[in-house]
Amino acid sequence: MTLSDEKYVLLTTFKRDGTPVATPVWWVPMEGERFGFYTSSTSGKIKRLDHTERVTVQPCNARGKVREGTSPTEATARAVTGPELGSITSKVREKYGFATKVTKALARIGGLIKRRHQSYADRGVVVTPTSGGSANPTT
């Protein structure tokens, strides 16, 4: 199985002091050897990507438990908007279907409960494996 086939991957970003922060994300293949997902512009992932593009990705389940027999793949990531975000959004909706509507509704409800505007899926992230990630996630 390749990273292109994965439903979820554990994305690990890094704080300024090098501390890893892992988060499971939905994941779609993009052109070439790249992958994408969307997130909020106010998320910790975006803040951490502002200071380093270094990330790792690893197959996991929805709760972030990594799949046995796999290891992290080194990669770079960058936040995007505009047409690249539009492409990611379309691909995520195609792959995950109704679940995208459910998560958007839950985000809106969360914003109402907290009484503040909460952005949703207004940033894309393009991930490019640097260590053979498209071919085999176990290496």
pLDDT over threshold 60, residue 107: yes
Superfamily (CATH H level) for 3-129: Electron Transport, Fmn-binding Protein; Chain A (2.30.110.10)
At 132, the pLDDT band (50, 70, 90 cuts) reads low
Residue with tokens 């922060």: 21
Q: What is the dihedral of CA 37, 99, 69, 135, to 10 degrees?
A: -40
pLDDT over threshold 90, residue 127: yes
Q: State how far the Cα of 50 lies from the Cα of 63, in Å rounded to an integer.
A: 25
Each residue of 43-79: pLDDT tens digit?
Answer: 999 999 999 999 999 999 999 999 999 999 999 999 9
At 97, the pLDDT band (50, 70, 90 cuts) reads confident
